[in-house]
Amino acid sequence: MTGAAGNIGSVVREGLRHEADHLILLDRVPLRPEAGNEDVHTVDLRDAAALESALAGADRLLHLGGVPDEAPLEDLLEANVIGTHNVLEAARRTGIERVVLASSNRVTGFHPTGHLTGPQDPVRPDGLYGVSKVALEALGQLYADKFGLSVICLRIGSFEHAPTEPRHLATWLSPRDAVGYMRAALTAPPSIRFATAYAVSGNTRRFWELPDPTTLAYTPVDDAERHAGDIPGAGLPADPAAPQAGPYALPEFTLKHIRH
């Protein structure tokens, strides 16, 4: 697992710790093993040789590392695109059977909230971060088609311990469901060459399709609607023409990251 020290990585690490004979954990910040089956490495995604060395012996790879939000394009390309290329290349060279890539719902953020969006819909990234995740998915498709890797891209929703704003009522991904999706993607049949799926809780108001169970055998168990009473503005009607990305679609969200 890359990005093992991050918000999602920390939760998934704990959730999968007892299901792996050997858990290799990578991050650019130092980690400490918390169980006898954990092997930790301080590795930068830009260091292709170090990645390949650390991943030797792994049979499945969960790639969570990278810049997690809007940033200057140069930074996103280096971490999310070049870094993902290095991860996929290490997987190819070391014979890893399955690679799960952390994509984002932000690759389709400009689809309207009134449209139930699935992987078959065209990408409509809501910012530079979304563009970097479109490139991540394209690299995954390339390595599946050209080199025979089995790759699953998870378009991760709003990962929070609990939803805190009206948009989360559609986009929330609970920690429990995050672990469930990633376990399902790591253990999906090897016959799946390439697939893309939204990782989102079973929210009543969601505007993304749940995965086809023949591709990803996981049914989410949480629903943000249970928290609606705690969220100001939850009762206001949603605009079906508004972008799914909400504030991430505003020009100023990206303009402040453009270097001149």
pLDDT in tens, the chain (260 residues): 999 999 999 999 999 999 999 999 999 999 999 999 999 999 999 999 999 999 999 999 999 999 999 999 999 999 999 999 999 999 999 999 999 999 999 999 999 999 999 999 999 999 999 999 999 999 999 999 999 999 999 999 999 999 999 999 999 999 999 999 999 999 999 999 999 999 999 999 999 999 999 999 999 999 999 999 999 999 999 899 999 999 999 999 999 999 87
Please tell me the predicted confidence (pLDDT) of residue 259.
Answer: 83
Please identify every residue annotated as catalytic: 129
User: Model's pTM, two decimal places?
Assistant: 0.97
Rounded Cα gap, residues 37 and 164, in angstroms: 36
SS3 38: strand
Helix 175-187 / helix 7-16 crossing angle, nearest 10 deg: 60
* Six token digits for residue 215: 């591709």
**Domain 7-255 of CATH type 3.30.70.1560:** no
- Where exactly are the structural domains of the chain? 7-255
CA distance 223 to 208: 14
172-173 and 158-159 as β-strands: parallel, antiparallel, unpaired? parallel
For residues 152 and 98, the answer to whether their CB atoms sit within 8 Å is yes
